[in-house]
Each structure stands twice: as C-alpha cells, then as structure tokens.
Amino acid sequence: MSNLSTSKWTKYRLLRKSEELRAYLPETEWLKESTFWRMLNKYEQVIIKPTGSYGGHGVIRFKKLNASEYELQNGAKKKIFRDQEQVNAFLKKKSGKNYIVQQRIPLATVNGRPFDLRVMVQRHPHSKWQVTGKLAKVAGRGFIVTNIRMSSGKVVSVEHALRHSQLKSMRSGDLLAQLDKVALKSAAKLGPSYRWVKTMGIDMAFDKVGRVWIIEVNYLPMLELFLKLKDKSIFRRIKSFHKK
C-alpha cells in the first residue's frame, strides 16, 4: 500500500501536474489569511474545507457582499461579518487545522438547487480504467453542499439533472462524453501514485455554462448511493467490478 497521503490537498496537487487537467480544477490553496483574501477578492465567493474530511463535513462558503460585509454559510445557516477583522478572527480558529480554500464553482442547478456528479471509475488488475456509472446529487433546499445525508438532498440520473437544469438546451451526449473523458484522465493521472486503488468515486460538476469541473476524488466512495437510481443495473455493474 502506498504511503502517499490521500488528502484532498495531495490529490489536487497531483492532478495539477497535468497541464491538460489543470483547466478543470478550481483554484485551490492552503488556507491562510493571505490566500483567503486574495481568492475572495478575485472570485467573490470561496469554499473553505478540511483537507481530510468526507461527506460534506466542515464545508463553509464565504461570499463578499460589498466592500465591508461578508456572508458565511455553514449548512443551511448563514452569518454576516461586518468587517475584515471579524472574518480574520474566524479564520484564525481554522489555521493550523488542515483547511484549504477553493474557488467556488457556480454549479448548474435543478429547480434552484445546485447539483454535482459522482462518476465511478474502476479497473481490473492490469487493465485500463473504465467509467462504470454516474449519478447526480442535488442539494437540499437552502444548502450549498450536495451531500445527500447532510442536506437532505436527492439522487437522480445525470440525464434527468441535465434535462431540468439551465443546460437543457445543450447536447447531453457531448456533455457526458466530456465528463467521461476528464474522469478517465483523472484516474490515469492518480493511478500510478495509488496503485492499490481499483475504484475511484470522482466528484465532478457542470457550471451554469456547461464547463466541466473536478471537485475531488474519493477512494472509498459510498456505492449504495447508486441504489437510489431507478436503474439498478448500474449498481450491480459497479458492485461486481468492486468485488473483483
């Protein structure tokens, strides 16, 4: 088994080494006051999250409202900071606790709720990576995280999400082909550093104009999410691959 860290930060840095994949990665930095303010001023919205957590835990959004007001959203709760000093006091509590700050992607939405995508990429020993299934996770009302348990969101097919989003006028076949291509290239880039991994759950997204993004890669993805789809054959295919 590899000794290389499986943290979000380590996997992000490995993916960034690929010039081709760099275009699909949201800008990400280790959380410090300087990186936080540079990115918030650049993007007006950022996400901060612990680099070792899963399931949406600890994910916080900061939004710049005007020159002196900032909004924090944690789960469905929101809080207003009236100046930079208040924000810096909050950030100080996070410093040294392995947090990253990331450009916030304007995710495509279904009925006003953001969704992202879980793309399963698997392989047999000594064989190429394959996309074995994908689904869309739609955030619960009022939430920014798409984790189903945390936000009381729902799982739908990717095709359903696209048909009910602002991307419905785009060719879904082209969007899905691009999604698969980026997922496979991500697995191919990470695979040599984690040779023990045979299954990856890659969290990806489309933004409001149909651009593909890589959010993060999970090596122990929850397969049971796929049982929530009407088409159970996708779960069976993933599970059979997983067992082998």
Question: Contact, 48 vs 102, CB < 8 A?
Answer: yes
Smallest CA-to-CA distance from 121 within 205, 201, 223 is with 201
pLDDT (0 to 100) of residue 1 = 40
- Report pLDDT digits (tens) over 224-244: 999 999 999 999 999 988 665
Give the highest mean pLDDT range of 37-51, 93-107, 150-164, 230-244.
37-51
Please name the residue that has the structure tokens 């602002």: 166
pLDDT at residue 151 tops 60:
no
> How confident is the model over 120-146, as pLDDT tens digits?
999 988 889 999 999 999 988 866 666
The backbone torsions φ and ψ at residue 73, rounded to the nearest 5 degrees and listed phi first, read: -125, 125
Helix axis angle, 84-94 relative to 33-43, nearest 10°? 130
| pLDDT value of residue 2 | 47
Q: Which two tokens stand for residue 195?
A: 């040779």
Q: Give the integer Cα–Cα distance in Å for 41 and 59.
A: 19
Instruction: Fill in the amino acid letter for 67.
Output: A
Class of the domain covering 107-243: alpha beta
Q: What is the C-alpha end-to-end distance of the chain, expressed in Å?
A: 18
Cα 99–Cα 19–Cα 219 angle in degrees, nearest 5: 50
170 has pLDDT over 90: yes
Q: State yes or no: pLDDT of 200 exceeds 60.
A: yes
3-class SS at 208?
Answer: coil
Summarize pLDDT for 70-98 with one digit per residue, the tens: 999 988 788 999 999 999 999 998 876 78
Domain ranges of the chain: 28-103, 107-243
Q: What pTM did the predictor assign?
A: 0.91
pLDDT reported for residue 54? 60
